[in-house]
Amino acid sequence: MRAEDELDFLKEKERAGLLKVGVQTVGDLLAFFPKRYEDRRQFDAFPAQAGGEPLCLRATVVDSMQKRFGAKKGFYEVVLEQIGGCDVFGGGTLSCRWFNMPFVSKMVAVGHEVIVYGRVKDSGGRLIIEHPEFEIVEGGDSLHLDRVVPIYRGVSGLGQRKLRILIARVLEEVEEDSLAAGYDVDRSYPRAEAFREIHFPDSLEQTEAARRRFALEEFFEMQLKVLWRRRRHDELRGQQQGQKTALLGEFYESLPFDLTEAQKRSVREIIADMRSARAMNRLLQGDVGSGKTFVALCAMLMAVDSGKQAALMAPTQILAEQHWLTFCKWLQPLGVKVGLLTGARDEEATGADILIGTHALIYDRAEFERLSLVVIDEQHKFGVLQRGRLIQQGVAPDVLVMTATPIPRTLTLTIYGDLDVSVLDERPAGRGKIVTGVRVKPKISDVTKFLKEELAKGRQVYLVYPLVEGSESVKAQAATIEFPKWQKRFKNYEVELLHGKMPPEEKDSVMGRFRENETQVLVATTVIEVGVDVPNANVMVIWNAERFGLAQLHQLRGRIGRGEHKSYCVLSNDGKSGQEKLAVMAETDDGFKIAEADLKLRGPGEVLGTVQSGLADLKFAEFLADVEMVREARRLADDVLSKDSSLETYPRLRALVSG
């Protein structure tokens, strides 16, 4: 049996189930790694109370019952007794329930010895595990008991026991030479041995070592793809003609303020990139309010000065129009034609030197004859394919991607291995301080009084809610419900509503009135998260703040503190959840520190948004924060391509990067 062989010896139903989870060959099956492990040399004691981490219990079924609610709905329940009788510290018995799964009653019956895994909850004073993972104990098979046992994702037609038996058989019969990867990232740890130890380890420590070996292999392949793509991009581009900076100098002289040192440094890095033979691939990473727009504007002026076009793609119409207004203000006096193209507006798009837009730029509506620079703002809002479609409209153009969502330093190399990074770590002068406070169920009268004091000074206010409309399933406040209440409280001021379900034209007009201070109070959802720049707005109250992620809270808070006035961000919460997260917001306004805290709280997969970043298929996302492992993968990939740039001696790797 070889790794490339298909699983012909299985039943059709079993093969179909495996195919649904991406397993077609022997090698695919061995790469179907366990999702977790159970140390079945010892089990958890029955709990005395609900809550805590999920438990793995070994027990006997002593009772069962089927309860129905109507013709088709109901649940099946079994009562479990801990093997060995009542535990001194535990309760001795608990129940398991499966709702609307009548087939379970044919699998689990009184007298069965079972292993169950799940989180214990309280139900009317009784301890219950709902929909636990379970397995019937049958005999003394060494694959399933008295050892560290692998637990896999569900496969239709193959239960856990069958899967283990199948994988054990394959490991026994597969020819080890067929398991070799295209490149061995760790010759001291044979791949065949790592497969055995990741599936059937002797200890939990052994599983960690095996997972790290395969994680390094996965990261190596990811970095190889990145480096291969960049080298092909550079070859297509060829030698770049000298980029001019006359317009850039003229623009700089027209500014009534000076750029920060971080902005100047980033502009110098971009100038060097755009003048080199290599295509620029640069990430401009800056906290909210750090001045990324002006750095991007400088890059675009270099392209225009050289007789080329530049395009900027923003994720929302509000942000695109914000950029368009800013660019028109600064560039039209220099004779630069700035166009706007969104789903609702088309302003001087034809023949524009700089074209700003939304997704409309990539759906065959934009005409680019000389596109040499692509700028993508808030890049995490776009999928990989969307970014690629815009870039492909030029011939190997320079690419600048910007984000105001700080990415933990330990992850930057992982996600953007093909990008050089510029960091704006200073805020422009003249910005007011932001004071952040966490308030548990604050009194509306107190909040209203404080807001009226700020409004009386001529300031403006954001009131942010997690929901557009009320919901029976989600206990949180909604903007449309609270809006009329605020209108009554602020009778002497203009109060307007803004949310994502409104037509684009209506959103634009509401935002325009707020920008011009015709509206003083804006009741909104997260539609204001990016691109809203109103220096006079200095107060934000975020209701049900516990429902927002750290990165989102930081983005929202970035809408204030953009002017000279002292600003205030009030995080209102229910007091039951999210305390650690909100404490981070109160302690710092440093986006990078917040990003690191977010990484610890949620883990790399959640922080990255793997679908948008192109990392959705990673099997070992938990190691993304291991910067040393990522650097080693990068070094190995660079070493392979340095010795064999076309990968002629590594046909498997060549097929991988070319696919």
Mention every residue, 6+ apart, whose C-beta is less than 8 A from residue 503.
Answer: none
Residue from 219, 426, 398, 366 nearest 300 by CA: 398
Using 50, 70 and 90 to split pLDDT, how confident is the model at 429?
confident
Q: Which helix (H) or strand (E) holds 117?
A: strand 113-118
Biggest alpha carbon–alpha carbon distance for the chain? 87
Q: Are 570 and 562 in contact (CB under 8 A)?
A: no
∠ CA 12-14-20 to the nearest 5 degrees? 105
- Give me the DSSP letters along 310-370: EEEE-SSHHHHHHHHHHHHHHHGGGT--EEEE-SS-EES-TT-SEEEESGGGGTT----SS
Residue type, 109: A
Instruction: Retrieve residue 264's tokens.
Output: 């100047």
Using 50, 70 and 90 to split pLDDT, how confident is the model at 611?
very low
The DSSP code for 21 is: T
Residue type, 648: E
Give the β-pairing of 354-357 and 281-286. unpaired
Q: Are 150 and 37 in contact (CB under 8 A)?
A: yes
Q: Are 561 and 535 in contact (CB under 8 A)?
A: no
> Taking 80 as the threshold, does the pLDDT of residue 609 lie above it?
no
Q: How far is CA 319 from the centre of its chain?
A: 21
* H helix intervals, 442-541: 444-456, 479-489, 504-515
The DSSP code for 527 is: G
pLDDT cut 90: percent of the chain above it: 36
Angle between helices 627-643 and 204-237 (to 10 degrees): 50
Residue type, 650: Y
pLDDT-wise least confident of 146-155, 195-204, 515-524: 146-155
The DSSP code for 380 is: G
Whether the pTM exceeds 0.75: the reply is: no
What per-residue confidence (pLDDT) applies to 88? 39
Q: Are 356 and 390 in contact (CB under 8 A)?
A: no
Cα distance between residue 94 and residue 137, in whole Å: 18
What per-residue confidence (pLDDT) applies to 30? 94
Give the β-pairing of 93-99 and 73-82. antiparallel
Cα distance between residue 77 and residue 84, in whole Å: 22
Residue 270 three-state SS: helix
What per-residue confidence (pLDDT) applies to 606? 55
Sheet holding 55-69, edge to edge: 121-123, 126-130, 93-99, 73-82, 55-69, 113-118, 133-136
Sheet holding 460-464, edge to edge: 434-440, 567-573, 537-542, 460-464, 521-524, 495-498
pLDDT tens per residue across span 345-379: 888 888 899 999 988 887 755 677 788 898 988 76
Cα distance between residue 407 and residue 3, in whole Å: 38
Q: Are 300 and 354 in contact (CB under 8 A)?
A: yes
Taking residues 58-86, report their average pLDDT. 82
pLDDT tens per residue across span 430-447: 677 899 999 999 999 999
Cα distance between residue 141 and residue 136, in whole Å: 12
pLDDT tens per residue across span 549-576: 888 898 899 889 888 889 999 999 987 7
Residue-averaged pLDDT of the chain: 84
Return phi, psi of residue 419, to 5°. -115, 145
What per-residue confidence (pLDDT) applies to 77? 92
Angle between helices 579-587 and 591-602 (to 10 degrees): 170
Tell me the Cα Rg of the chain: 29
∠ CA 612-617-620 to the nearest 5 degrees? 110
* H helix intervals, 141-291: 160-173, 191-199, 204-237, 246-254, 261-275
* HSE, side-chain direction, 13 A CA sphere, residue 618: 29
What per-residue confidence (pLDDT) applies to 528? 85
pLDDT-wise least confident of 122-126, 495-499, 590-594: 590-594
Residue 402 three-state SS: strand
